[in-house]
Amino acid sequence: MAFLPQEIIRRKRDRRTLEPGEIGDFIRGVTDDRVSEGQIAAFAMAVFLNGMTRDEIVALTLAMRDSGDVLTWPGIDRPIADKHSTGGVGDNVSLMLAPIVAACGLAVPMISGRGLGHTGGTLDKMESIPGYSVTPDNDLFRRIVTDIGCAIIGQTGDLAPADRRIYGVRDVTATVESIPLITASILSKKLAAGLQTLVLDVKTGSGAFMGADDDARSLAQSLVEVANGAGLATVALVTDMNEPLASAAGNAVEVRNAVDFLTGAHRDGRLEQVVLALAAEMLTSSGVAASAEAAKKQAMEALASGQAADRFGRMAAALGGPADFVEQTGSYLPEAPIVRDVVISAGGHVAAVDTRGVGLGVVALGGGRTRPQDDVDHAVGYSDLAPVGAVLETGDPIGRVHARSQDDADAAAATLVSCYEIAQNAPSTRPVILDRIAS
């Protein structure tokens, strides 16, 4: 029978369950342009409104994975593992996590994305490092992962190309917020990377894509069930994003924060909890550590010995960055012309932070993008952000703004002040790790 994409769309429109073969045919049509953008939009809206069963999402994920290359890792005798975050503000976890677990015995081919909207992107942060290339060829990518243990790069044109086309349509047709489509989009790329295990960091709160805890848990459950159904052993942590995770939000400022973490110069408390928890999950699920306690001990030893920082520096150099980047970070990262404290007019406890607002403040400075083709100013952002619960006196800073001009600095300072709620009473505490979902 001839392939008729409109018939598959009709079946999903009418709340019918699609067969794996139908889903495979549709995705092959997306890949070879037999399916139009209008038909992709109609399919996405039908899924958005009517959902998909677990088996349908597995079939969609595998079809999108198979739309391009699937990497293999011959000659690597260590487990192949990765982590994915659903995105937030001050979320530079990948920059520390990949070298930490690489130093503990994992191979981490980390294929990351760029920032869009209020959330930051790992690739934009890494490109703050002069010369760092996020688009190596597959041979260099494999060699770095084999020799160093980790490489943080971007998605190549040959990995899950159907996902890239479908996402471009979803982004302009109000169908992004669909758990089946989010699940397939994330996991198709991870499966194409040839992973053996995956750990997910699903954010919830004012700075997260999923603002409500129940929505974040639903997404985490879908991701775990579908990944395991597709043969990829996966665990998810649901973590709090009701304040920036690091005390920095931007690109170069987050890279400096990450290097300080790796060298021990400074470690934000909530950030350290998330990094160590994800490291423990990666090491135990890969069989490198027998327990979470043993895994955290290994991770701390990798930090204390300097091995994690060394892996980061070697990775940066192998991908085109300076050979002494870790040792001379301040000499290489771009710096904004205007750097100044943002102070409060009345003292008290930091009761809450509009984290999305902080992220949008970075975008307004030029440190993020509203369109994929926008350029990013790597030097701008916020640093030294006061955490929830901090006790401040009148005139104390809540953070520091890094801006291109005085006008930009004034606007960014006003934005940051508006994002901070100062109260006379101490706020109730909320754990940073809210849930663990393994099946």
Per-residue pLDDT tens digits for 91-100 = 999 999 999 9
Tell me which of 142-151, 286-295, 363-372 is least confident. 363-372
The residue among 305, 329, 353 that closes a domain is: 329
When the pLDDT of each residue in the chain is averaged and rounded to a whole number, the result is 94
User: SS in 3 state form for 158-221?
Assistant: CCCHHHHHHHHHHCCCCCCCCHHHHHHHHHHHHHHCCCCEEEEEEEECCCCCECCHHHHHHHHH
Tell me which of 153-167, 340-354, 402-416, 421-435 is least confident. 153-167
Does some domain include residue 407?
Answer: yes
235-283 pLDDT, tens per residue? 999 999 999 999 999 999 999 999 999 999 999 999 999 999 999 999 9
Residues 128 and 173 in one domain: yes
- Compute CA distances 281 → 145, 201, 425, whole Å: 20, 11, 36
Residues 255 and 354 in one domain: no
Mean pLDDT of 41-66: 96
Does some domain include residue 131?
Answer: yes
Cβ-based burial of 401 (10 A; exposed 0-12, middle 13-18, buried ≥19): buried
* β pairing state of 81-85 and 197-204: parallel
pLDDT at 116: 63
Residues 243 and 310 in one domain: yes
Residue 209 has pLDDT above 90, yes or no: no
pLDDT at 175: 87
Give the chain's domain count: 3
Residues 38 and 118 in one domain: no
Domain CATH code at residue 418:
3.90.1170.30
Residues 231 and 358 in one domain: no
171-199 pLDDT, tens per residue? 778 888 899 999 999 899 899 989 999 99
pLDDT at 6: 94
CB 202 within 8 A of CB 220: yes
Residues 143 and 227 in one domain: yes
CB 205 within 8 A of CB 435: no
pLDDT at 117: 64
Residues 214 and 264 in one domain: yes
Residues 23 and 124 in one domain: no
Does some domain include residue 55?
Answer: yes
Per the structure block, which two tokens stand in for 183? 């699940």
The residue among 115 and 47 whose pLDDT is bigger is 47
Residue 10 has pLDDT above 80, yes or no: yes
pLDDT at 235: 97
pLDDT at 262: 98
Does some domain include residue 196?
Answer: yes
Does some domain include residue 434?
Answer: no
Does some domain include residue 34?
Answer: yes
Active site (catalytic) residues:
82-85, 122, 170, 185, 189-190
Residues 134 and 241 in one domain: yes
Cβ-based burial of 143 (10 A; exposed 0-12, middle 13-18, buried ≥19): middle
pLDDT at 176: 80
Residues 231 and 277 in one domain: yes
Residue 157 has pLDDT above 80, yes or no: no
Domain with 394, as residue range(s), is: 337-423
Please provide the size of the chain in residues: 439
Please report, for the chain, how many H helices and E strands are present, in that order: 17, 13
